[in-house]
Chains A and B, each alone.
Chain A
């Protein structure tokens, strides 16, 4: 975390993601649908690995309850 090219952006993002994931949970959206991971552009294999792991977590959760169709049906 101390190696950010832009110095502190990653810390700012980390703090905000901490707050946001709990707010999503509070509003009834699964926390696991939000993921933050810091990779550099030189770490392609790590990125692929992370995305694949994320897909494995998302598939059992199913489609997002926020798909536009859902809300328009009720309105």
Chain B
């Protein structure tokens, strides 16, 4: 698969259709985001997932936004998996990236990876390498819903108590780009105090992510306290789908029901 990707990147850089390609590279034994440009050595290209499913992942969309802001008139390529493409569709909708300034290099995830993420759509619409496999059922959310109320409460209370307010989840999230974050607003959240306001802190983030989270799992991976954040956001996604028929990033030009002024469609 990596050879096909390498060839594609080479093509894009050689014919000048992109100024650079945001992907991953191995350097000094570690995987890191990398902007490949014309005449660069593509042998360092890496697709992540080196030792176990989902390791060495980065929010490439976020790297792309930083670059695109500095070079707003140039076209850039970016390596995308299913989740990254959902991220791009959402970022287009939120006016953080211009679709005509982005060329995607889509790769599909293996079944092992899809299962590790419980991914609903482990492939991008536009695919360069890999095979589209079926989405996985969301068993984690179902298991949590099957527990009774008091068990759910003890579970989440114990989880949220572990939080050290590192803001890692927010910092790494490719969908988080607000200049003033509610989680740092003194009037809403008591800054600098531990334990966090339970469940206000995490539910605030979940509510903000309700129509944005694309289920990439980076928050979960980043959390130094191993809080199952992804489970929380998978639940908001399930609610958005059930109530409004909306799934973030699945359809390219779909507006979020929470940003539409007026009653929810179908109600």
Contacts and interface: CB of A to CB of B under 8 A. Distances in A.
Interface of A: 1, 7-8, 11-12, 15-16, 18-20, 22-30, 65-66, 71-72, 74-75
5 tightest A-B CB contacts, nearest first: A28-B153, A28-B152, A8-B261, A27-B156, A27-B199
Interface string B241-267: 001100000000000011001111000
Interface of B: 144-145, 149-157, 161, 194-195, 198-199, 203, 206-207, 210, 232, 235-236, 239-240, 243-244, 257-258, 261-264
B contact face: mostly helix, strand, loop, or mixed: helix
A71 B195 contact: yes
A71 B244 contact: no
Contact of A15 (B194, B199, B232, B257): B257
Majority secondary structure of chain A interface residues (helix, strand, loop or mixed): helix
A66 B156 CA distance: 12
B207 A16 contact: yes
Contacts of B261: 7-8, 11-12
Given A16-B258, A66-B199, A75-B195, A27 B152 contact: yes
A30 B239 contact: no
Nearest to B153: A28
B156 A23 contact: no
A15 B264 contact: yes
A26 B145 contact: yes
Nearest to A30: B149
30 contacts: A8-B261, A8-B262, A11-B262, A12-B258, A15-B243, A15-B264, A16-B207, A16-B258, A18-B239, A19-B207, A19-B236, A23-B207, A23-B232, A23-B239, A25-B149, A26-B152, A28-B149, A28-B150, A28-B151, A28-B156, A28-B157, A29-B199, A65-B157, A66-B199, A71-B161, A71-B195, A74-B157, A74-B161, A75-B161, A75-B195
